[in-house]
Structure 1
Amino acid sequence: MSGAIDLNDIKRRMDGAITAFKNDIASLRTGRASANVLDPVMVEAYGSRVPLNQVANVTVPEPRMLGVSVWDKSMVNAVDRGIREANLGLNPIIDGQNLRIPLPELNEERRKSLVKVAHDYAEKAKVAIRHVRRDGMDALKKAEKDGSMSQDDSRVQSDKVQKMTDETISDVDRLLAEKEKEIMQV
């Protein structure tokens, strides 16, 4: 059977949407400290904005504390400012060339807003997956129309694409449910 579409490419693109979703929800803060919380932080360094991980090392010394070791002493205040401006609700304490960041207890309202953000991320991932599905289906219709694929082959392939889509979307739902449980856990 001559495949007009590359199912492996479709699978790769859907997996890419899952990976992006995992990265998005990893940055959401739960009750436990995670170095990923600071992933969105950008720091003004040497005339440009760079990710925090390019100027410092993030550690988790305690369950409710983050440690940031800034490599260049002159960058400590810029890192402090970057963390405060990232709107993560964190207040770093400067300690020489290091910053200690106590994580405040999450209240019910904050947990619910984090769950809402997780749902937004999930929706974004599902839209990306559906776009990949649509691209695959369009390619199949075109192949069938220009005669490079029989109607039966096209139907078999489109069933595979649909199955892949359903599985990938259920992966997103499963990951979202796990994250939601993790966020709401007191």
Structure 2
Amino acid sequence: MSIEEIALEAEDRMEKSVTLLTDQLRGIRTGRANVGLIESIRVDYYGSSTPLKQLANLSTPEPQQILIRPFDPSVIGDIVKAIQTSDIGLTPNSDGKAVRLNVPPLSVEQRKKLVGRVKDLAEEARISIRNIRRDANKQGDQEQTDKILTEDDLATCKEEIQNLTKKFESKVNDLADKKSAEVLES
């Protein structure tokens, strides 16, 4: 592998770590309703576990309410059960055609717990990025051992990988700071 290939593979994997973090942060509650809280809840639909966003139209008609309109009204009971067994802490109200979730304002204590969760998720993402850096550096070392890269090429490769690591850790920090600020605002 060339320096470019090693760096490109590392960058691709780091980008996936940041994308995963973004998806995880979308599911963390803030003071207002957000369909990201529920779109990944799995519903038992005819024997298969299906994400809620594939079974229903999700919207926020009011700042403190999420509206779920299933494409197939016969699945409402399964949706209600899936929401009740999930860990989001919201109680579904069903009228037979749609499910409404009222999102109550968060207490200061709940906000602090959520900020702690955001920090934990961000740290997991940073660890993932560092592991990718380690793997890419190992790949570079192996390429040098196999006489494909010179010492100078290896140094250049490691420098490029370190720059990628800093760039993606910075993205993770920005995402975490933004989400923490969003959770703490009332």
Kindly report structure 1 stretches of 4+ aligned residues shifted beyond 6 Å: none
Q: How does 1:100-179 map to 2 (within 5 A)?
A: 100-179=100-179
User: Is 2:66 the counterpart of 1:66?
Assistant: yes
Other-structure match for 1:12: 12
Contact 1:31/1:185 (<8 A) preserved: yes
Report the count of equivalent residues: 185
Aligned to 1:48: 48
Q: Percent identity?
A: 30
Other structure's SS at 2:141 match: helix
Instruction: Name stretches of at least 5 consecutive residues in structure 2 with no aligned partner.
Output: none
1:109-150 superposed Cα distances (whole Å, 9 cap, x missing partner)? 111111111112111111211111011100111111221111
Deviates more, 1:75-84 or 1:39-48: 39-48
The answer (yes or no) to whether the contact 1:4–1:143 under 8 Å persists in 2 is no
**Contact in 1 for aligned 2:40/2:53 (Cα 8 Å):** no
Report if aligned partners of 2:18, 2:172 keep a CA contact under 8 Å in 1. yes
Instruction: Tell me if the contact between 1:35 and 1:60 (Cα under 8 Å) persists in the aligned partners.
Output: yes
| Cα distance between partner residues in 1 of 2:124 and 2:68 | 31
Which residue of structure 2 aligns with residue 75 of structure 1? Answer: 75
SS at 2:67 equivalent:
strand
Q: Deviations over 1:28-48 (max 9, x none)?
A: 111121111103311121122
Report what 2:98 is aligned to: 98
Does the Cα contact within 8 Å between 1:4 and 1:140 map onto a contact in 2? Answer: no
Given that residues 5 and 139 in structure 1 are in contact (C-alpha distance below 8 angstroms), is that contact kept between their aligned partners in structure 2? no
Cα RMSD of the aligned pairs, angstroms, is 1.3
Q: Within 1, Cα distance between the matches of 2:43 and 2:62?
A: 24
Q: Is the 8 A contact 1:5 1:140 kept in 2?
A: no
Q: CA deviation at 1:87?
A: 1.8
Greater Cα offset, 129-138 or 139-148: 139-148
Which segment is superposed worse, 172-181 or 43-52?
43-52
Residue 96 of structure 1 aligns to a residue whose secondary structure is: coil
Shift of residue 54 of structure 1? 2.1
- Please report the TM-score for the alignment, with normalisation by the length of structure 2: 0.94
In 1, Cα distance between equivalents of 2:133 and 2:80: 43
Q: CA deviation at 1:4?
A: 7.4
**Take 1:50 and 1:148, find their aligned partners in 2: how far apart are those partners?**
47
